[in-house]
Structure 1
Amino acid sequence: MYPTRPRSALRTAVVWEVLRTALEQRTAELDRPVLDVLDTGGGTGNFAVPVARLGHRVTVVDPSPDALFALERRASEAGVTGLVRAVQGDTQTLPEVVEAGSVDAVLCHGVLEVVDDPAEALGSLAGTLRKGGLVSLLAANRNGAVLARALAGHFADARAVLDAEDGRWGAGDPMPRRFTGEELSGLTAAAGLQVRSVHGVRVFADLVPGVLVDTEPGAMEALLKLELAAAEEPAFHAVATQLHLLAALV
């Protein structure tokens, strides 16, 4: 079961497979079936609701009241209202709404790109974890953006992404910040977290024309399998649109 519709699953399958397996292993380690999971910036529940369907308690902290309203509706439709809690806030207010050392896993997907201070945000997230707790960290990959802009014929933009400290190609870039794998690993280490695995996300999904996937019989399933296989290979990490790190509080 993927947390999104089949077409969108191309962009989320890698993260979901890693996360689902990690949660299963953590329940076995703790010898209890229900984990307390925090999804910061979880919005409408793209991952929170599937995690709740696994039987875990999920708190979603997000600054958007509209997103949280949609989350509650989605949780109701999935029959997991009692397992999903919606809280308006962000990484800066996290200590006020989530007790320190109270959760078993944190989802931080697409958050570090937009916060004012990524190191401070990750430190706040780590502070909510119990010892041995997990962090699922997903962030935009600077090197992948270089390749994407170059393949689109925007060579000056590609060079700008390569050179800019924040990995942006200019004022019109909708992404506030991008990271290299080394930068993400450094941030996790500084927060007292130990990286367990790194996966490339959307290695091919953003490069393959959608018409090929939508019209060629069996193409979507084949591309999905390719994404899952390539995600495991470090050689492909540099060209992925996003990087996914699974880390634990040591």
Structure 2
Amino acid sequence: MSDPMRPRASLRTAVVWEVLKDALEHRAKATGREQLDVLDTGGGSGKFAVPVARLGHRVTVVDPSPNALFALERRAAEAGVDDRIQGVQGDAHGLFDVVERGGYDAVLCHGVLEYMDEPAEGLRNVVGALRPSGVLSLLAAGLGGAVLARALAGHFTEAHQALTDPQGRWGAGDPVPRRFTVEQLTALVETAGVRVEAVHGVRVFADLVPGVLVDTEPGALDGLLQLEAAAAELPAFQSVATQLHVLGEQQSRTGAGNGADDGR
């Protein structure tokens, strides 16, 4: 089967997909179960849910948009994995109104945290859906990438504003409510009860390279993918990444009453 994250349109998510795929494989081996229960919060039309289901796992997508869930249903059917994907309407703050607490081997929270009114509270809910030692995949907007992008576009005042604003916003027209540094994001994750296993810078170069170059220059796509992968774990490049990815493992909650990892 071809890699679903390989096409040009999915270049920006290639690093996250490779890390997530390896983490799910490791989790499956640790539990002795080939089929995991995965929750994708804010999963939209299934950019990650469908590839995860193709690996053989059961995926529940929670998203507030009915249109996104309709697109998810269609996409899952076209991929032949509709029997392994369930879409439900909801959000992180009311998560346990629609899904089971402590019922998932892995939770994806991609592109959601920066839109939460209370990121710490929302992340605690997301982590609460994990089984003991479950995997958290968190992807959020990075501060450094926004500052660099505004500066390279010649918007120096906006770049300075983003750099000094508590929420990392470059102005009133900024569509992203908040951005994070590596330190801020890992602190949120650890406070929520998750041990940080790895941090990756995402879209370090992809947003800066002209699309026409990647589309027309022989070997450019492969070269850019390799460059992104090589830079992803280096702190110097994480500090200027458009997005930051944190992979973590939920720390055991003694007496939490959410079930042992019993291979269900």
- For Structure 1 versus Structure 2, the TM-score category normalised by the shorter chain is over 0.9
- 2:150 — aligned with what? 149
TM-score between both structures, scaled by the size of structure 2: 0.93
CA distance in 2, matches of 1:145, 1:10: 19
Instruction: Tell me the residue number matched to 1:176.
Output: 177
Aligned AA for 1:206? D
Amino acid at match of 1:223: L
Q: For residue 9 of structure 1, report the CA deviation from its aligned partner.
A: 2.7
Q: Is the 8 A contact 1:64 1:88 kept in 2?
A: yes
Letter in 2 for 1:192: G
Per the TM alignment, residue 99 of structure 1 is displaced from its structure 2 partner at its CA by 1.0
Checking the alignment, whether the CA contact within 8 Å between 2:63 and 2:89 is kept in structure 1 is: yes
**Structure 1 stretch 1-10 or stretch 45-54: which is displaced more?**
1-10
Q: Distance in 2 between matches of 1:169 and 1:232?
A: 26
Cα separation, partners in 2 of 1:163 and 1:64, compared to 1, 3 Å:
same
* SS of equivalent to 2:74: helix
State how far apart, in whole Å, the 2-side matches of 1:177 and 1:140 are. Answer: 8
Q: How does 1:50-199 map to 2 (within 5 A)?
A: 50-199=51-200
Q: Is the 8 A contact 1:3 1:16 kept in 2?
A: no
Q: Does 1:200 align with 2:180?
A: no
Which runs of 5 or more structure 2 residues have no equivalent in the other structure? 252-264
Summarize the Cα distance change of 1:2–1:183 in structure 2 as closer, same or farther, 3 Å threshold: farther
Is 1:43 paired with 2:44?
yes
Instruction: Say if 2:130 and 2:250, in contact at 8 Å, map to a contact too.
Output: yes
* Maintained 8 Å contact 1:197/1:246: yes
> Within 1, Cα distance between the matches of 2:76 and 2:6?
16
Partners of 2:100 and 2:129 within 8 A in 1? yes
| Equivalent residue, structure 1, for 2:235 | 234
Give secondary structure in 1 for the equivalent of 2:189.
helix
C-alpha displacement of 1:174: 0.9
How far off its partner does 1:158 sit? 0.4
Q: Provide Cα deviations, 1:209-243, integer angstroms capped at 9, x if missing partner.
A: 11111111111111111111111222210111100
Once residues 211 and 81 of structure 1 are traced to their aligned partners in structure 2, the CA distance between those partners, rounded to angstroms, is 35
Q: Deviations over 1:132-181 (max 9, x none)?
A: 00110000000111111111100000000000000001110011110111
Q: CA deviation at 1:2?
A: 4.0
Distance 1:102 1:248 in 2: 15
State the 4+ residue runs in structure 1 displaced beyond 6 angstroms: none
SS in 2 for 1:104: strand
In the alignment, the residues of structure 1 paired with residue 6 and residue 44 of structure 2 have an alpha-carbon distance, to the nearest angstrom, of 17
Q: Which amino acid aligns with 1:99?
A: E
Residue 257 (structure 2) aligns with: none
The offset of 1:98, in angstroms, is: 1.1
Contact kept? 1:2, 1:9, Cα under 8 Å: no
Residue type at the aligned position of 2:148: L
Deviation of the 1:3 alpha carbon: 3.6
Provide the aligned length of Structure 1 versus Structure 2.
250
Task: Report the RMSD for the aligned CA atoms in angstroms.
Answer: 0.9
Alpha-carbon distance between aligned partners in 2 of 1:8 and 1:130, rounded to the nearest angstrom: 33
Q: Distance in 2 between matches of 1:64 and 1:103?
A: 22
The corresponding residue for 1:11 is: 12
CA distance in structure 2 between the aligned counterparts of 1:207 and 1:53, rounded to whole angstroms:
31
The equivalent of 1:34 in structure 2 is 35
Secondary structure at the aligned position of 1:113 is classed as helix
How far apart, CA to CA, are the structure 2 residues paired with 1:109 and 1:193? 16
SS of residue matched to 2:140: strand
Letter in 1 for 2:244: L
CA contact (8 A) 1:198 1:245 kept: yes
Given that residues 6 and 14 in structure 2 are in contact (C-alpha distance below 8 angstroms), is that contact kept between their aligned partners in structure 1?
no
